[in-house]
Amino acid sequence: MTPADYTFVLGAAFVAAATPGPATLAISGTAMQRGRAHGVALAAGVLTGGVMWSSAAALGLAGLMAANPALVGWLRILAALYLGWLAWKSAKSALRRGNPPVRASDARALKGSYLRGLALHLTNPKAIFFFGALYTVGLPVGTSGPELVSVVVLMASLSATIFFGYALLFSTPRAQAVYLRARRWIEGAVAILFAGAALRILRTGSAGL
In this predicted structure, what is the pLDDT of residue 101? Answer: 53
Q: Does 40 map to a domain?
A: yes
In this predicted structure, what is the pLDDT of residue 15? Answer: 82
**Could you tell me what percent of the chain has a pLDDT over 70?**
81
In this predicted structure, what is the pLDDT of residue 157? Answer: 95
The mean pLDDT value of the chain amounts to 80
pLDDT of 162 higher than 90: yes
In this predicted structure, what is the pLDDT of residue 148? Answer: 85
**Tens of pLDDT, residues 170-209:** 999 988 787 767 777 777 887 787 788 778 777 765 545 5
Give, in degrees to the nearest 5, the angle at Cα 194 between 191 and 198.
Answer: 135
SS3 for 33-93 is HHCHHHHHHHHHHHHHHHHHHHHHHHCCHHHHHHCCHHHHHHHHHHHHHHHHHHHHHHHHH
In this predicted structure, what is the pLDDT of residue 134? Answer: 77
In this predicted structure, what is the pLDDT of residue 9? Answer: 85
| 126: containing domain | 3-204
Work out the number of other CB atoms within 10 angstroms of the CB of residue 69. 11
In this predicted structure, what is the pLDDT of residue 178? Answer: 79
Decide: 122 and 54 in contact? Cβ < 8 Å. Answer: no
Work out the number of other CB atoms within 10 angstroms of the CB of residue 99. 12
> What is the rounded distance in angstroms from the CA atom of residue 90 to the CA atom of residue 161?
26
- Total number of domains constituting the chain: 1
Name the helix (H) or strand (E) containing 182: none
Higher pLDDT, 39 or 186: 39
In this predicted structure, what is the pLDDT of residue 66? Answer: 58
pLDDT of 167 higher than 90: yes
In this predicted structure, what is the pLDDT of residue 82? Answer: 72
> What is the rounded distance in angstroms from the CA atom of residue 121 to the CA atom of residue 49?
5
**Tens of pLDDT, residues 104-135:** 567 788 999 999 999 988 887 667 777 777 77
In this predicted structure, what is the pLDDT of residue 18? Answer: 81
Q: Does 209 map to a domain?
A: no
Measured between alpha carbons, how far apart are the two ends of the chain, in Å?
26
Nearest to 8 by CA among 142, 150, 134: 134
Q: Does 110 map to a domain?
A: yes
Whether the model pTM is above 0.85: no
Q: Does 90 map to a domain?
A: yes
